[in-house]
Amino acid sequence: DGGITQSPKYLFRKEGQNVTLSCEQNLNHDAMYWYRQDPGQGLRLIYYSQIVNDFQKGDIAEGYSVSREKKESFPLTVTSAQKNPTAFYLCASSMARVANTEAFFGQGTRLTVV
Amino acid sequence: AQSVTQPDIHITVSEGASLELRCNYSYGATPYLFWYVQSPGQGLQLLLKYFSGDTLVQGIKGFEAEFKRSQSSFNLRKPSVHWSDAAEYFCAVGAANQAGTALIFGKGTTLSVSS
């Protein structure tokens, strides 16, 4: 089945550590996105990529980094510079070459700092 | 500034009663609009979308939404709520005819269903 796979589902990080969240899609979508979700805050855009080897910062990019070396993959690294990383992270994708299409979401990764 | 406002943080509806969730947007370009639903600890599932044409759009699970340009609104409705509809609902807006742009989300409305 086509879809978006995020792993792991739960992730624990010690203070000062970098962690990488995986996002893989087999929908042949060009565009991919990372959102952060906190209770009562909705979804806030961290980074997005419309094409391989290119990405743009979203509203809350500080303390995060991404890469887009393959069309199928868009990993997110939460660095030690992110002061409050505990949150639910959602990856999404869409057909960048076709306007007026929706975003498809993965099942999310819950990151907790311990 | 581009934004989406969902005025109701939490709504409780009796099972079998009708439902309306409100959504207002502010967007400089021609918008396209979405409603998504999220169960606890899960990703988002698309309920319906509006791009153009008929301003009343039908979605999955018996939901519908009406686009009112004059009011900058895109309210979600369901005539009879089921207990399984309890979830969090998000309204989102994107730029029409600009492929690959990221959606802007409201803060969500949590729906509880009482028996």
CA distance B35 to A36: 18
Three state DSSP letters for chain A: CCCEEEECCEEEECCCCCEEEEEEECCCCCEEEEEEEECCCEEEEEEEEEECCEEEECCCCCCEEECCCECCECCEEECCCCCCCCEEEEEEEECCCCCCCCCEECCCEEEEEC
pLDDT of residue A101: 77
pLDDT of residue A12: 93
Residues 6+ apart with CB under 8 A from B52: A100, B32, B96
CB pairs below 8 Å between A and B: how many? 65
| Of the partner residues A41, A45, A96, the one whose CB lies closest to the CB of residue B100 | A96
In DSSP terms, A88 is beta-bridged to A37, A110
Residue A65: Cβ within 10 Å count: 17
pLDDT of residue B53: 85
Q: In the block, which residue shows the tokens 């409050």? A: A84
CA distance B27 to A60: 20
Question: Which regions of chain B are under pLDDT 70?
Answer: 96-100
Note down pLDDT in tens along chain A; length 114 residues: 679 999 999 999 998 899 999 999 999 999 999 999 999 899 999 999 989 999 999 999 999 999 999 999 999 999 999 989 999 999 999 987 666 678 999 999 999 998
pLDDT of residue B94: 85
pLDDT of residue B21: 98
Q: Chain A interface residues facing chain B, Cβ-Cβ under 8 Å?
A: 4, 6, 30-31, 33, 35, 40-45, 48, 50, 58, 88, 90, 92, 94-108, 110
pLDDT of residue B39: 93
